[in-house]
Structure 1
Amino acid sequence: MTETTANFLAQVATIAPAAYSRESCASILQGHTYVAAGDLERFESQYGALLVRLSARRSTGPSHIHRSLRYLFRTGAGSSPPVITGFDERRALVEIYHLLGSAYFSRQWILPDFVLSSHIVLRCSSIDLAWDTLCDAIGAMVTFGSFGELGSPHGETVLVANMLRQQYRQSRLSFIETILAVQSCDLQASDPRDHVYALTALSNSPPKVPLPDYSMSPVHVFASVCRTVNSCLGSPITLALAGLAKEDSNAPLPSWVPNFGVYQQRLLLGHPVSNFSTSAVPQKSLPDATSDDNDDETLDEDDGLDATPKDEDRLKCSGYVVDTIKAVQSYLPPRRICDQYDMTGDNLFEFVRWYEYACSTETPRVRYGSDALLLRFTEVIQARGCNHIWESDQPVPPMQTISLARAFFAYLDNPQMLRTNALRVFVAACLPSHDRRFGLTVRDRFCLIPANTTPGDLVWVIQGLKVPIVLRKAGAFYRNVGECYVEGIMFGEAEGTDEDITIV
């Protein structure tokens, strides 16, 4: 990286103190970038030019980024930072992309180095760039959309590493928090167990955290970690992290154990600071399945397992059925962090297909759907209550939501429409829909469901879990398909009689 690019990063990093507070790093578990939704309107007039210019695909004339910085400081801080003359902004962005795209940032063991080191600098020709400055610059650029064209593969990993570092230095980093955060990092390791053991050094948790034992298989290691996490939280949260493996996966893991060697490409609905409360009853206990329980229970041969699962492969919990999946719609692929405000690409038309199906369920039929239907649909695709960064902490008038949704579909019908900041935020708020499907239950509830869901799967409310879970009957047991969002039950509205079940 050249000295000019390092100076450019140092200057862009000055956006960070003006745009967000470091206390917001506590939101690491929900994939926070930095700016809270409640601040967007306050920032819109001040950073309006910045939002537009940093997301521009091409730069013409003087550097848009530096010009936006000058505007920012004139209106916000009251002074203007120095400007580098003769500067090639595009070349700097390419250098940053190559830096973050290097194999070094894909290694699992870089996390302890970044989090635990007291002082980190990036050597750039004849100048040193502080690690915090690099991360602040990347954070500001990702927040305001300037990575949309580059699509750096490890930009989010760098941000997560830096936020873990800040948490660690404040002595507030637990093993559970580390596990959940690193699930969003696209990191590789020479051995699957390294993904778990690399995190033990980062934790300030008590000694009950599993210690390295390479005599155990990866399956047993992952299961042990899951039991630790579930026991500490008093909630089977690994059901939300895990699910049925994709067809191209060969990991022989129980359905309630996530594959820690594969990073999560979707937003975790049941993250610890979400507003959901599907179950207000805490899980009384999460016992390990014992050898004398369910000895006569077997799985059907059609489920691919012809013998009683081993004790360590079972998870016992309590809950009740609230609904059944009736229809499953098309799959919406994952979205990269750098594409949060991107309004191009064919993936957005999946929302059109979903909405057309939703309209077909309305009686009597209303052209373009009634306002009530559109409001229901919008709240589902944005997982209202998930408490992601684009969700306002204040009640939003229904007509405002409906108006934005109508404008969004009008834009898809006519891409030449002006892409306003409000529309960009609307698209960004649909993040929970990515890497999921849209569906309908037997009781006519709209829902966001895992990719592997099929009609006939059951929607369960599990004690102590913030979100409902899709389970599939497998003989005398159940298999976990994954967490879901179902309208009308996300805040404790559903009732039922608890029963003990075993998930394999």
Structure 2
Amino acid sequence: MGDLAPSPTSSIIDVVGPSHATHPELKSYTALPDSHSIRMLVLEPGSPIDPLRGRLEIVDINSAGSYEPVSYVWGTSKLVDKIYTRHGSDDGPLRLTASLKEALVRFRLPDQERRLWADQICINQSDVAERSQQVQFMKRIYENASHVLVWLGADGTSLAKPAFELIRDLNQLFQNELQRGEFYTEHTNRLGEQSRDKWKALDHLADCPWFTRGWIVQEIGTRASATLFWGDEEIDWTVLHTVCETLTAYHHLRTRLNIRTSEIKYVFRRFVEPDMTSHHANRVNFIYELQRARGLKFTDHRDRVYAWLGHYSKPWTFKSFAELLTADYEKTLAEVYIDVAKLALKAALKENINDGSGLIVLAAVQHMHLRPSEIPMEARLRDRLTDKDSLPSWVPDWRTYQSFILSEPINPHRAHGSTTPILAFEHNDRLLRISGIRIDEIELCSRPLAIKEFHLTDSSEATESTIEYIWRHMCGKNEFNLTGQYLSSDESCLFACMQTLSNGCVQIATREKMQYHSIPKSYWLEQEALYLAKALGQSDKIAPELHRMAEMARSVHMDEQWSRSANGASKNRVFAKTQKGFYVLGPKVAEPGDIVCVLFGGKLPFCLRPLGDQYLLVGECYVHGLMNGEAMDMMSRQELIEEAFDIV
């Protein structure tokens, strides 16, 4: 590629530190000549104590030559040094943040130039039009790179060396079949004997702010090779990811010793199409990717959408979001988020989606608070329909995160049967009119369930466990047995309760690559019995038949996985019970009086909150007994009727 690069336009600069969100001295930038040009930084050689010097080149994105883009955290916005660009007699200083200065000093070669790309320098951050145009190239810039340079930051407390040594040792160990077997025995069968001390180095690595920086999904997410630099130490990105991916199989080890690997492995090749036979098939859905990125950090929250432009994921099948969305920093945050929600819903209509994924954008709604204010009803409705800076309740606020989406694309639930969405937009597209079936009203809600509520511990404290709290106060039961019947089904109340708390155990089936609907209920009962026996020990609250079931499961070496599934599904949600007796796993903000409905085209039911003649969308919910089209069957028998809900 280097031989094909055109003769670039250059300007000489002195680089003395990293950049800032805005560059006030705009005259230092030569305007880009067309819509397919980008800038490159050619960093001159020098020693660690020499001032940084280089030149900017303007090149065509289609023939940029060989270069290495820099991925880093901007850090503080404080401007610490200047960059001087010279165009004849027209000089203009630019400034950089400390973080990029450190990175450039580390990456500079002692005896030859190095051709780099860094957004702080190569994009005129003060030119909104240029930013909007250049952000479209981000994926291509990193994807076409000869190598990506990742700067994790300075290592003032010497944490990098032990962390990278641990990774290299584990990588070597996992490649040896005998040593890997010994590791499994020690960290599974003898888990209680393991010390957390040696794993603290991995904690320190996961604490690096780079792993939660939003734009890295593009910068490190392609097939381009990469090296991570932390102070004077460095490690290959593929080696680091391989070790973290291998540790995924050691769930109880990671849980017991609080080993954090998900933040590290999450961003690996996020912009490369996955194995469609694995749970990574979820990633072909653009909304799912926005959901997974909610925990990342962005300075400009519009970039929670724009960072995914160029991704292969699609609204459904007809076009990628990259073809339908463009970065526009003139739009407000609310306008950007509403655009995404409308686009996803309109795509579902256009494609006539009947696999349940058509309403995934509604499933992504996760409110932090949703209690109606004390102002008059008319004013509340008027504000929701006219306030351009607010989000309607049916639009996800990608800045907040509660839990993963229960309705993820590969989820096998089909509450909607085979129906497709029926919806329309009114009042300047701020009111969503959507059709479905009203099921029941919530009567009772648990306290919000926190992270690891169902984690198994060695504690022998006589406090009431979470499962006991749910079973006693929400289900009205004392002994854990299979005698109570759930509604008019042939299932026990205990089975319905445990399935509700774990989203039907679908995550277990996904991890084990099992066909969900071919799994007998007895398999899930064995999982649930294993958990109860471990959580409550020999308590006489557990019926003998459940103890026998757990012992039988242990005899065939079945691992207890229900707790992992329940911890994931129930985090920041509530267990609720409706007036008719349905068990519900609903949003944290759900409360008595909310209605449960099945919307056409949605694979899970939803909670709505009445607001006069209109509704607020509370969020998605698992409702045991309604997850396989039962509501549609009741409608066909005229036991339930179709209804249109106006959601504001």
Residue 8 of structure 1, CA deviation? 3.7
Q: Is the 8 A contact 1:244 1:481 kept in 2?
A: yes
From 535, 538, 553, the equivalent of 1:412 is 535
Match of 1:49 in 2: 185
Deviation at 1:390, TM superposition (A): 5.2
Q: Larger Cα Rg: Structure 1 or Structure 2?
A: 2
In structure 1, the gaps of 5 or more residues are 20-44, 60-88, 292-310
Q: Return 5+ residue gaps in structure 2 as ranges.
A: 1-158, 314-319, 350-357, 374-388, 484-491, 540-546, 636-640
Aligned residue for 1:224, secondary structure, equals: helix
- Over 3 Å counting, the alpha-carbon distance change for 1:15 and 1:468 in structure 2 is farther
CA spacing shift, 1:104–1:400, aligned 2, 3 Å: closer
Alpha-carbon distance between aligned partners in 1 of 2:493 and 2:606, rounded to the nearest angstrom: 24
1:270 aligns with 2:270: no
Residue 382, structure 1, aligned to residue 502, structure 2? yes
Distance 1:5 1:158, change over 3 A: closer
> As a proportion of its length, which structure holds more strand?
2
Matched-pair contact (CA < 8 Å) for 1:445–1:486: yes
Partner of 1:137: 243
Q: From 194, 197, 204, give the equivalent of 1:58.
A: 194
Pick one of 222, 239, 257 that aligns with 2:395. Answer: 257
* Structure 1 counterpart of 2:311, from 187, 190, 202: 202
CA offset at residue 223 of structure 1? 0.7
* Alignment of structure 1 residues 226-265 onto 2, 5 Å: 226-234=341-349, 235-246=358-369, 252-263=390-401, 265=402
Query: Could you list the per-position Cα deviations for residues 302-321 of structure 1 after superposition, in whole angstroms to 9, with x for gaps in the alignment?
Result: xxxxxxxxx23222221110
Q: Which residue of 2 aligns with 1:321?
A: 438
Q: Provide the identity percentage.
A: 20
Q: Report the alpha carbon displacement of residue 128 of structure 1 after superposing the two structures with TM.
A: 4.8
Residues 1:474 and 1:208: Cα distance change in structure 2 (over 3 Å): farther
2:643 maps to amino acid: E
Which of 625, 630, 637 is the matching residue for 1:488?
Answer: 625
What is the SS of the residue equivalent to 1:129?
Answer: strand
Counterpart contact for 1:269–1:386, Cα < 8 Å: no
The reply to whether residue 473 of structure 1 matches residue 610 of structure 2 is yes
Q: What is the root-mean-square deviation of aligned Cα atoms in Å?
A: 4.0
Q: Secondary structure at the match of 1:183?
A: helix
- Is residue 647 of structure 2 the alignment partner of residue 503 of structure 1? yes
Residues of 2 paired with 1:18 and 1:237: CA distance? 43
Instruction: Select the residue among 212, 219, 231 that pairs with 2:334.
Output: 219
Change (3 A) 1:191 1:2: closer
Structure 1 residues 216 and 141 mapped into 2: Cα distance closer, same or farther (>3 Å)? same
Any residues of structure 2 matched to 1:45-444 within 5 Å, and which? 49=185, 51-52=187-188, 55-56=191-192, 58-59=194-195, 90-91=197-198, 93-116=199-222, 118-123=224-229, 128-145=234-251, 146-148=253-255, 151=258, 155-167=261-273, 177-185=285-293, 186-203=295-312, 205=320, 207-234=322-349, 235-246=358-369, 252-263=390-401, 265-289=402-426, 291=427, 311-335=428-452, 343=457, 349-357=465-473, 359-360=475-476, 367-371=479-483, 372-384=492-504, 386-388=506-508, 389=510, 392-393=514-515, 395-399=518-522, 401-414=524-537, 422=558, 424-430=560-566, 431-444=568-581
Per the alignment, do residues 253 and 349 of structure 1 end up closer, same or farther by CA in structure 2, a change over 3 Å counting?
farther
Distance in 2, matches of 1:158 and 1:139, equals: 9
Contact 2:170–2:243 at 8 Å: present in 1 too? Answer: yes
Structure 1 residue 340: Cα displacement:
9.3
Amino acid in structure 2 at the alignment position of 1:12? L
**C-alpha displacement of 1:261:** 1.5
Q: Provide closer, same or farther for how the CA distance between residues 471 and 344 of structure 1 changes in structure 2, counting only shifts above 3 A.
A: farther
The match for 1:12 is 170
Provide the C-alpha distance between the structure 1 equivalents of 2:275 and 2:497, rounded to a whole number of angstroms: 42
Post-superposition offset of 1:282: 3.7
SS at match of 2:626: coil
Contact 1:269/1:432, CA 8 A, preserved across alignment: yes
Q: Quote the Cα distance in structure 2 between the aligned partners of 1:2 and 1:284.
A: 52
Aligned residue type for 1:228: L
SS state at 2:241 partner = helix
SS of equivalent residue, structure 1 residue 255: coil
State how many pairs are aligned: 420
Q: TM-score, normalized by length of structure 2?
A: 0.57
Amino acid at match of 1:191: D
Q: Distance in 2 between matches of 1:398 and 1:502?
A: 38
Deviation at 1:463, TM superposition (A): 0.9
Amino acid of the structure 1 residue aligned with 2:170:
V
Asked if structure 2 preserves the Cα contact closer than 8 Å seen for 1:457 and 1:470, the reply is yes
